Structure 1
Amino acid sequence: MTKQVAITLTRSLIGRPEGQRRTVAALGLHKINQTVTFKDSPSVRGMIRQIEHLVVVKDVQADQA
């Protein structure tokens, strides 16, 4: 089993600094309530930490096929 994280954008980017906007875009999030799934890694966790006030993060267990 591979550990993954599901990231959902829950807050607007209006009035947010450019760095936070770029981090959200780098994660592939464009609209509110959009969810993306990534393999859990230190780089992804670092990006989440920068925008933790804008997103909801859930741990997901994924089966390897």
Structure 2
Amino acid sequence: MATIKIKQIKSKIGAPIDQKRTLTTLGLRKISQVVELEDNPSVRGMIRKVHHLVTVVE
């Protein structure tokens, strides 16, 4: 299956607890950290929830 790279671009400080937990579930802990996950609808939904804190790296 295809993979997608996600990079955290902003801090989670001040974000609601559900968004903090979403970042943790994606495997992101630090700014500029990049993770590679499978591209599926559940991951896309998590990205959509925290779209202002992350970016998709090509």
Question: Normalising to structure 1: TM-score of the pair?
Answer: 0.84
String of CA shifts for 1:25-61, please: whole Å, max 9, x gaps: 00110000000001100000000000000001134xx
Gaps spanning 5+ residues in structure 2: where? none
1:31 correspondence with 2:30: yes
- Structure with higher Rg: it is 1
Question: Normalising to structure 2: TM-score of the pair?
Answer: 0.93
Q: How many residues align?
A: 58
Which has a greater percent of strand?
A: 1
Cα RMSD between the aligned structures? 1.0
1:45 correspondence with 2:47: no
> Percent identity among equivalent residues?
48
